[in-house]
A and B are shown apart, each in its own frame.
Chain A
Amino acid sequence: MAVRTSRFTETLTDGRTALWAAAGVLLLVLQFGALANFVVGLGIDAILALPGVDSVGFLTSLENAIQSIPTLLSRETVPNQGYYDGSGYEGTFLGLAPAMAWALRAALIYLYAFAALGWVVWGLRIYRQEHRAADWTPRDDMLNRFRGHKWGIFGLVIVFMFVTMAVFAPALGPTTVDQNMRNSYGHEISYWDSDTQSVEEVVVGQANLNSLSVGNDQNVGLWTYDDYGRFHPFGTMQNGRDLFTFLAVGSRISLVIGVLSVALSASIAASLALTSAYYKGRIDLGMVLVSDAVMAMPQLLLLIMLTTVLRETWISDVYSGGFLLALIFAFTGWTYMWRSIRGPALQISEREWIDAARSFGQTPLTIMRKHMLPYVTGYLLIYGSMTLGGAIISIAGLSFLGLGVQPPTPEWGRAINLGQDYVRTGSWHISLIPGILITLVVTGFNALGDGIRDAIDPQSDSAGGETAGAGGGA
């Protein structure tokens, strides 16, 4: 223990590392309230999901306490919802126009996200240069190869921006889901009525009805204000709701379902692939049969059937049906990943260090985890990234058909569906913007997968990769 403590203090007193740690603390402090809020909120949701629990008084008061902690990237710190009172803007950040205030907040959020990413990369570099015992490991080459892979970097940036959108969804939208969609008749806003030259009050639901985007006659398009002085970066939907808020919150559900289903199917695929590669023979054959049987099921029909059959059950209510979707995707999707990983796993199982470990009595589970898994994680990343894009398309496709995630929970596919009548009119943005975003995000995930694949495979070394392995001889 003594050795460990001294090493820790040494780490902190070392200049660069201390600076890095300080930057980390600063980044954390700026958003501490949001983080704590998220954790507590998650806990409350989890407890409320248990049958028989109706209220969590203690946690609710804790949540309220936490919500009073100021955070930098919140609607409260940089508000954009205000009104014009004849001489200037009331209630917006520094009296800026709502569009400017919103743009500032969005810019701050992305700045923060990229700063956090940069901080991680910086930390990795410090670790590599100062704290790691080995001066080179094969992972270094992979990272260097990825760094020179423009298509992969493009994918990473897109995916990162999408994830940022999902994570900061509540703060990113110009308005909130609760105020603008779920409970629009329970909120009032003030606005500047140019006819009466005075500030008036209106219920949000009523304001929405007067801000529809339904073709050339009535349209609130991109980057415009509606009659109530509300700013809509992506315009409004056919029911007058704010499209950007809808998409920001919708990105969250797409990401959660996507990640959950891919994580589930990846863990099923990996454990089955390692088992069949380790034991081979009959066990392998049995798994081939099982996966063939699962592959033979038509995924879309199964999805439609299960969502209909399970409509009234509790499981279809978890996360607006998203959890059920994730389970179905995982159950039908693991086979493809299993097939892709089985090959590399079989190759690895032939290596002599597996026999060496077996000869000295290592347990099969540890051999799979320690001596085989590291060699297939790369493949898991590649196929996971690509499957994630596919899952997002499938989720959107189901919502487009009116299945899957239940309204009024925002989902990208539903926006496309809602706007399809107006594609040829001035209100084209309702369908087109979510469509473009889906394409972009899925392309991003595929590009990221390509980048990871090329980074992991040393044989794909391009011209720029020549210098990467230079440190290997030491």
Chain B
Amino acid sequence: MSDTLLSVENLRTVFHTDKETIRAVDGVSFDVQRGETVGLVGESGSGKSVTARSVLGLVEEPGVIEEGSIQFRGDELVGGNWDEHRGDIAIVFQDPMNSLNPVYTVGNQIKEALRIHQDLRGQEATDAAIELLEDVGIPDAARRVSEYPHQFSGGMRQRAVIAIALACDPDLLVCDEPTTALDVTIQAQILELLDDLQREENLGVLFITHDMGVIEETTDRVNVMYAGEFVESAPVDELFDNPRHPYTRGLLASIPGRTAGDERLPTIEGEVPTSTSGPTSCRFAPRCPHAFDDCEQVHPERIDVGDGTVDHEAACLLYDDRFEESAPEEKFADDGGERA
């Protein structure tokens, strides 16, 4: 733990609405080391993006970070200290069409970041912007720098967004579904670019996606998120070889091609619940094929489920010795659990 960039401890981000308080992120803890890619995976509404926005201090009213700590290089950020570390943490958003302002040229927007973080102006800044565009693999950068976002293709726009992020000279890059809006070939190119950049600059990356395939390719360590909580955390190989939480198994089972011979792809029935109160039960229990009576009564804590050589945690009563599995219902016809 020598070079820890980001350390999130027991983070809880809530949204106060007129009717209720929604716990979008509820007690999440993770670290990102320098040069490491940490994945955050889960379906829509599980709180992935809110986690990312919390890390960057972008949570807006009515949302508020209610509890927990976010430390960047040991400095506490919660409580409004983001300004001192602006630029150290950069973000790449999902939709490149939306994260570039259409009324300014791409160069203008890169220069805006350069001006703030590297104090470059005029021709100097233009040269630096051209260099950044070249770094992210945009051909003919000297001409492209004075073009508007609408003149760029989707993949090039995302490259430009990455160039803006790099203009801040960050240590930590948060990628919030950076390839979701792109088609598969462009997605592969962007992932490769991010991988190269990470190795060159030795960045820490927090990679958010709902795509298990992308997770397998890019990350070192994976946190599986469900209804605002981490239900399982493990190094990527361990998670894919030996998934312990029923939700993770369900996710893996629903990747096309992984379940051989099956005609129909297994799915997880139902939707992610909206958590409005403190945890009193397992939030996945209503959808869980292995749920038993205690699952409705007890909130599972994260326990070590590894074989001692790897750092593998899951929050499931199945692995808690204090509870006895009683009469599990089989909801998945053939899930990853058989192989585990």
Whether A associates with B in a native complex is yes
**A280, A281, A351, A356 — which one has the most chain B CB atoms within 10 A of its CB?**
A356
Residues of B in contact (CB 8 Å), total 39
Tell me which residues across on chain A come within 8 A of B99, comparing CB atoms: 352-353, 355-356
CB of A474 within 8 Å of the partner chain: yes
**B61, B90, B101 — which one has the most chain A CB atoms within 10 A of its CB?**
B101
Taking a contact as CB atoms under 8 Å apart, the answer to whether A134 and B148 are in contact is yes
Hey, what's the 0/1 contact readout for B52-68 against A, CB within 8 Å counting as 1?
01001010111000000
**A282, A359, A360, A374 — which one has the most chain B CB atoms within 10 A of its CB?**
A359
Nearest residue, chain A, Cβ from B151: A474
Q: How large is the interface on A (under 10, 10 to 19, 20 to 34, 35 or more residues)?
A: 20 to 34
Q: Smallest CB–CB gap between A317 and chain B, Å?
A: 44
CB of A194 within 8 Å of the partner chain: no
Taking a contact as CB atoms under 8 Å apart, the answer to whether A360 and B116 are in contact is yes
Stretch at the interface among B81-89, B212-220, B267-275: B81-89
On whether A138 and B90 interact (CB within 8 A), knowing A360-B117, A360-B164, the answer reads: no
On whether A358 and B58 interact (CB within 8 A), knowing A352-B98, A371-B101, A472-B150, the answer reads: yes
Tell me which residues across on chain A come within 8 A of B1, comparing CB atoms: none
CA distance A280 to B164 in the complex (A): 26
Taking a contact as CB atoms under 8 Å apart, the answer to whether B62 and A359 are in contact is no
Taking a contact as CB atoms under 8 Å apart, the answer to whether A360 and B101 are in contact is no
Q: Smallest CB–CB gap between A139 and chain B, Å?
A: 9
CB of A439 within 8 Å of the partner chain: no
Tell me which residues across on chain B come within 8 A of A351, comparing CB atoms: 98, 101
CB-contact partner of A356 in B91, B117, B123, under 8 A = B91
CA distance A280 to B94 in the complex (A): 24
Taking a contact as CB atoms under 8 Å apart, the answer to whether A361 and B150 are in contact is no
CB of A357 within 8 Å of the partner chain: yes
Q: Smallest CB–CB gap between B157 and chain A, Å?
A: 12
Instruction: Name A315-371 residues within 8 Å CB distance of B.
Output: 351-353, 355-362, 370-371
Nearest residue, chain B, Cβ from A135: B151
On whether A360 and B103 interact (CB within 8 A), knowing A282-B61, A474-B151, the answer reads: no
CA distance A474 to B98 in the complex (A): 20
Taking a contact as CB atoms under 8 Å apart, the answer to whether B112 and A357 are in contact is yes
Nearest residue, chain A, Cβ from B146: A133
Taking a contact as CB atoms under 8 Å apart, the answer to whether A361 and B164 are in contact is no
CB of A137 within 8 Å of the partner chain: yes
**B53, B91, B95 — which one has the most chain A CB atoms within 10 A of its CB?**
B91
CB-defined A-B contacts under 8 Å, sample of 26: A3-B123, A133-B146, A134-B146, A138-B102, A279-B61, A280-B60, A280-B61, A282-B61, A351-B101, A353-B98, A355-B99, A356-B91, A356-B99, A356-B164, A358-B56, A359-B56, A359-B58, A359-B91, A360-B86, A360-B90, A360-B113, A361-B86, A361-B117, A362-B116, A370-B104, A474-B151
Known A352-B94, A352-B99, A359-B86; further 16 A-B contacts with Cβ < 8 A? A133-B146, A134-B105, A351-B98, A355-B53, A356-B91, A356-B93, A356-B161, A358-B58, A359-B89, A360-B87, A360-B164, A360-B167, A361-B83, A370-B104, A374-B103, A472-B150
User: CB within 8 Å of B: which residues of A?
Assistant: 3, 133-134, 137-138, 279-282, 351-353, 355-362, 370-371, 374-375, 472, 474
User: CB within 8 Å of A: which residues of B?
Assistant: 53, 56, 58, 60-62, 83, 86-87, 89-91, 93-95, 98-105, 109, 112-113, 116-117, 123, 146-148, 150-151, 161, 164-165, 167-168
